[in-house]
Amino acid sequence: MNSLKGIIYNCRQATFLIEKKQIKKLTFRENIELKIHLTGCSVCRVFQKQSILINQMVKNLLMNSQNKERKLDDNFKQNLQDRIDDELNRQ
C-alpha cells in the first residue's frame, strides 16, 4: 500500500513512466501506477499529451529528413561559438 501512495503523489516517477512508455512497454505494475497517478493529476496528464506530441513531431522530422543533409548556417555557428566563448571568458 505504501508504494501506491508513493506513485499517487510522485509526479517525478509519473513523468519517468510517461517517457518510458513511449520507448518501450511498461510492466503491468508500472501501467497501473501510471493510470492511478494520471487519474488524480491534471498536470501530468497535460505533460503526457505534450510529450506524445513532441515525440511524434521529432519522429516525423527525422523520417522526413533522412535523405536530406541538414546543416547550420555558417553565420549562425560563428555567432553561437562567439557567445560560448564570451560565457566561458566571464567565468
Which burial class, exposed, middle or buried, applies to 13 when counting CB atoms under 10 A from its CB (0-12, 13-18, 19+)?
middle
Q: Compute φ and ψ for 38, nearest 5 degrees.
A: -65, -25
Q: Give the mean pLDDT of 5-15.
A: 80
* 28-76 per-position pLDDT tens digit: 999 999 999 999 999 999 999 999 999 999 888 877 766 566 677 889 8
Residue 41 pLDDT = 93
Write down how long the chain is. Answer: 91
Interacting residues of 14 by C-beta distance below 8 A, sequence separation 6+: 7, 33, 34, 37, 38, 41, 44
pLDDT: which is higher, 64 or 14: 14
Question: pTM above 0.75?
Answer: no
| Helix segments in the chain, DSSP class H | 2-8, 11-23, 28-40, 42-64, 74-90
Dihedral sign (CA 79, 84, 88, 91): positive
Q: Does the pLDDT value for residue 5 go beyond 70?
A: no
Residue 51 pLDDT = 95
Residue 68 pLDDT = 65
Residue 69 pLDDT = 66
